[in-house]
A and B are shown apart, each in its own frame.
Chain A
Amino acid sequence: MEGWLAPTELAGGFLQFLILGLVIGSLYALIALGYTMVYGIIELINFAHGDLFMLGAFFALGLAIWPMGVTTAEAPLPALVATVALMLLLTPLFCAIVNVSVDRVVYRPLRNSPKLTVIVSAIGVSFIFMNIGLLWRGATPVKFPDLISDANLLEGTGLRFTWKDLMVVAVTVPTMIALTLFVRYTRLGKAMRATAQNPVAAQLMGINVNRVIAVTFAIGGALAGVASVIYGLYIKAVDYQMGFQNGLYAFTAAVLGGVGNIPGAVLGGLTIGVVGELAKAYLGAKWSEAVIFGILIVVLLFRPTGLLGARTREKV
């Protein structure tokens, strides 16, 4: 019967799906960080965040084709490295600028409005972004250049871990570590946490709260930009609706981990990645979403503040 494996195969399979889940999950985590940081500082669920991620992927797509004309992994190595480096540099910058501009133009004038007003505005921005995406690249999925090799790094072990998988880990893990160190130890990072915990007291300390919020949008946007490049290179296809589904998963990750909590977003992302892959493998792809959101509901029933929400409760 399909799906029934011998015990050894089953163990190997489990490990394989675990690896895959962690790789996908670290991608969700990167996007989730953007949700959680903005929520932490202004208690806004930024529904446009997923669509910003989509715009980032479209921007990165342009970078791959336009300056270098590099579209396959067979291109010369220096050109490949330069193209990927350019994407990883300019896409986060693009997303950061877009995110900061949206805050400045849309959210900042609403800073003292009821929370619901701001959230509805975020939904509006989400639709605007999606339609910009639709105009930009059309309604059908676009092939993203396949620049990273699919060669297996664990050849002979029965497991599969490709250069692509390595790329995801090699970009997301240092990014998340850098973010954690930044928020924990730098002057600006401490100012972000202070602003999240008490904006009035932060102002009394001489912190320019609007600037700190702008920096938060910049960082959140940049993380979405990094995630969009990784996603494009990994999945090899992008479309104007990719922000919705991935944004929903990432948002779920943020809530699962405890929204506003940085380690929580990472844990939530990895959990959703692993659970999703395991569900796909053992229950079938159609069950994966049901299991993910089922787990979300169960976790929230017993820990309404999310996995890490109550214990550390580190907003931002």
Chain B
Amino acid sequence: MTAAVPSAASAELSPGVPQPATGDATSPATASPLLLVEDLEAGYGPINVLHRLSLTVYPGEIVAIIGANGAGKTTTLLAISGIVPARAGRIVFQGRDLTAEGIPPHEIVRLGLAHAPEGRKIFPRLTVRENLDMGAFTRNDPDGIAADLEKVFTLFPILRQRQQQPGGLLSGGEQQMLAIARALMARPKLLLLDEPSLGLAPQIVVHIFQVIRELNRQGVSVLLVEQNARMALKNAHRGYVLETGRITLSGTGQQLLHDPRVRAAYLGE
């Protein structure tokens, strides 16, 4: 696998990437957040998984949520996209209160929020091309869709070659690329990525993160959850540490990378 985006080859944050309004992640910023999650509670059946979870994503940011298995990372993203209903608190995207307005998941996508879910959830018996068509389901601008298709094929050249193959026959790395590409076809302002590195070979993980940063340079904000804390924090502007449904730490990616608690618990040092 060769890197498709040479401009994103550096593993460090490049200058010129929009930074959050203040260095301190928890203080209110002057720019209005793209996504605001406040005191969110969500769960399954009698179990509450998230406990008064709050986080923000500002326009132009890459924000990472790190945490162990079962901490509630996936539930957080599913609640933001409306799949798991919020039991309390609010989720505001671009000034619209998704929870108060009771906007169903299929409408949330139209607001500019796309989600590449855990385990990729590729449509296994649709071709790669049909999977991408489904990503653009909410749109009816054929020219824009064609342009975006070209764009994702440039980001992930392998998908162009595999266009006519069923999604289920792709390798894990290719499926992850397809999941991200499919989400991009909605032309989102905010991209939710659930464990983009899961089960992938290290050089493919590097490639995926290069693409994430390239997308971010092109103006897409990203909220990603990862067990691969090092990779996530290296590439994110800001990060949150999630433990048993609560945010226990937050800061810039660099701050968290050097925080002794993070180093001990998540970086194996």
Which residues of A line the B interface, CB within 8 A? 187, 190-191, 193-194, 197-198, 200-209, 312-315
Contact = CB atoms under 8 A, between A and B. Distances in A.
A190 B182 CA distance: 14
Interface stretch (B64-72, B102-110, B256-264): B102-110
Contacts of B215: none
A191 to B, nearest CB: 7
Given A198-B121, A203-B83, A205-B135, A190 B109 contact: no
Contacts of A201: 117, 121-123
A202 B117 CA distance: 11
Contact of A206 (B109, B117, B122): B109
Given A190-B130, A190-B133, A190-B134, A205 B186 contact: yes
Contact of B134 (A191, A208, A313, A314): A191
Nearest to B183: A204
A80 B81 CA distance: 55
A207 B134 contact: yes
B126 A200 contact: no
Contacts of A312: 125
B125 A206 contact: no
B79 to A, nearest CB: 13
A204 B109 contact: yes
B125 A314 contact: yes
Contacts of B28: none
Interface in B122-139: 122-126, 130, 133-135, 137-138
A205 B109 contact: yes
Nearest to B140: A187
A313 to B, nearest CB: 6
A191 B183 CA distance: 15
26 contacts: A190-B133, A193-B123, A194-B130, A194-B134, A198-B121, A200-B117, A202-B134, A203-B82, A203-B83, A203-B104, A203-B105, A203-B106, A204-B114, A204-B183, A205-B109, A205-B138, A205-B186, A206-B109, A206-B186, A207-B137, A208-B104, A208-B106, A209-B106, A312-B125, A314-B125, A315-B125
Would you call the interface of chain A mostly helix, strand, loop, or mixed?
helix
B213 interface: no
B115 interface: yes
Given A197-B124, A198-B123, A314-B125, A206 B83 contact: no
A193 B110 CA distance: 21
Smallest CB-CB A-B distances: 8 pairs: A206-B138, A206-B109, A201-B121, A203-B105, A197-B123, A205-B134, A208-B106, A205-B137
A190 B126 contact: yes
B105 A194 contact: no
Contacts of B104: 203, 208
Contacts of A200: 83, 117, 121
Given A206-B137, A206-B186, A194 B126 contact: yes
Nearest to B133: A190
A200 B119 CA distance: 12
Contacts of A207: 106, 134, 137
A201 B130 CA distance: 14
Nearest to A313: B125
Contacts of A313: 125
A206 to B, nearest CB: 4
Given A190-B133, A190-B134, A204 B123 contact: no
